[in-house]
Amino acid sequence: MKLTESVAKPFIKWVGGKTQLIEQLEALLPADFDDWKDVTYIEPFVGGGAMLFYMLRTHANIKTAVINDINSDLTTCYKVVRDYPSELENALQQIQAEYYALSSEEERKAFYIQRRDEFNTKSLDPLRNTTLFFFLNRTCFNGLYRVNKAGLFNVPFGRYNHPQICDAKTLYVDSELLKDVEILTGDYQETLSRAKDNTLFYFDPPYRPLNNTSSFNDYTKEAFNDLAQIRLKEFCDKVVASGYHFMLSNSDCPDGFFDDLYSPYFIDHVWASRSVNANASKRGKLTEILVHDYKEVKHS
């Protein structure tokens, strides 16, 4: 896999992004990971892709990469960034110029609502859909991606005067790094068919809420409840039974749900900044869990 010299990074804001956990994730890779040959790296819940971009630019032994998400707007965005960066840059520059030309907050809000309504028609070509995906991500409240039960994006206007809608440098370096990445849309369990020989799965599913008031996993209209968490653990069992390895991150729930669920595996509790709450005074460092099936890690 060809690596770009520039630093690739997530091109969208995404709640639960792993930028703040990269150091801990690297430390908990298999101890001999850098000695593996022709690695296949699979992310069944790609989200914002912080771990993906880190792994591809850092570990040259990754020869095959597969990403998946059930959110088709997100996976379409990855495909357009990969395949049509020039066309996307032009489209983003145009919508950014239109937004910047608006002189009042009332006009900007009206423009935002119009673009949100267009996005929710679900009838756009991939380039236009991705252009609006970027625009809404940069101009909605707190950079959230949230949909209602009908699957429609419903985040309110964010009141930003001059947000950076087009970051051309990041767009092109990310496109280069994604050139050889296979992008899937659908049930994460389908990714097992892409595994071969030295394969590492990294699972970053919608997090289980720490309490009844902290839930935020409305990335799709399908709920990711406790039954879904149990189904994921059973899939991890299949991964290991097939001869592959996995790492998984999730919230460190005080009721011990994951300690019980993943008791056959190794569980590390790490500190990480969480910023789901829009109130800065309520943000802070919370423990998260990193689960893996192998005993020896790079740095204990």
DSSP state letters, the chain: ----SS----SS--TT-SGGGHHHHHHTSBTTGGG-SSEEEEESS-TT-HHHHHHHHH-TTEEEEEEEES-HHHHHHHHHHHH-HHHHHHHHHHHHHHHHT--SHHHHHHHHHHHHHHHTT----HHHHHHHHHHHHHHBGGG---B-TTS-B-PPB---SS-----HHHHHHHHHHHTTEEEEES-GGGGGGG--SSEEEEE-PPPPPSSTT----TTSSS---HHHHHHHHHHHHHHHHTT-EEEEEEE--TT-HHHHHTTTSEEEEEEEEE--SS-GGG-EEEEEEEEES-S-BS--
- The CA distance from 53 to 294, in Å, is 23
pLDDT for 1: 44
CB-CB contact of 285 with 271 (8 Å): yes
Confidence (pLDDT) at 4? 43
In this predicted structure, what is the pLDDT of residue 215?
A: 46
- Are residues 87 and 129 in contact, defined by beta-carbon separation less than 8 angstroms? no
Asked if 47 contacts 17 with a C-beta cutoff of 8 angstroms, the reply is yes
Q: What is the pLDDT of residue 149?
A: 86
Length of the chain: 300
Per-residue model confidence (pLDDT) at position 6: 57
Query: Could you report the per-residue pLDDT of 47-98, keeping only the tens digit for each?
Result: 999 999 999 999 999 999 999 999 999 999 999 999 999 999 999 999 999 9
Provide the pLDDT for residue 112.
97
Cα 187 to chain centroid distance, Å, stands at 15
Specify the pLDDT at position 143.
Answer: 85
Q: Please state the φ and ψ torsions of residue 262, each to the nearest 5 degrees.
A: -105, 30
Instruction: Tell me how far apart the alpha carbons of residues 187 and 196 are, in angstroms, rounded to a whole number.
Output: 19
What 236-243 contacts at long range (C-beta under 8 Å, 24+ apart), as own/partner pairs, is: 236/201, 236/203, 236/262, 236/265, 236/291, 236/293, 237/264, 238/192, 239/192, 239/195, 239/201, 239/293, 240/293, 242/192, 242/195
The predicted pLDDT at position 281 comes to 40
Reading the chain (300 residues) residue by residue, the pLDDT tens digits are 444 445 789 999 887 778 888 999 999 999 999 999 999 999 999 999 999 999 999 999 999 999 999 999 999 999 999 999 999 999 999 999 999 999 999 999 999 999 999 999 999 999 999 999 999 999 999 888 888 888 899 999 998 889 999 999 999 999 999 999 999 999 999 999 999 999 999 999 999 987 654 444 455 555 689 999 999 999 999 999 999 999 999 999 999 999 999 999 999 998 876 544 434 344 445 689 999 999 999 986
Q: How far apart, in whole angstroms, are the C-alpha atoms of residue 268 and residue 84?
A: 40
Interatomic CA distance for residues 43 and 234, integer angstroms: 17
**What's the pLDDT score for residue 63?**
97
**What pLDDT, on a 0 to 100 scale, did the predictor assign at position 222?**
58
Domains of the chain: 19-64+195-205+242-292 (3.40.50.150), 78-169 (1.10.1020.10)
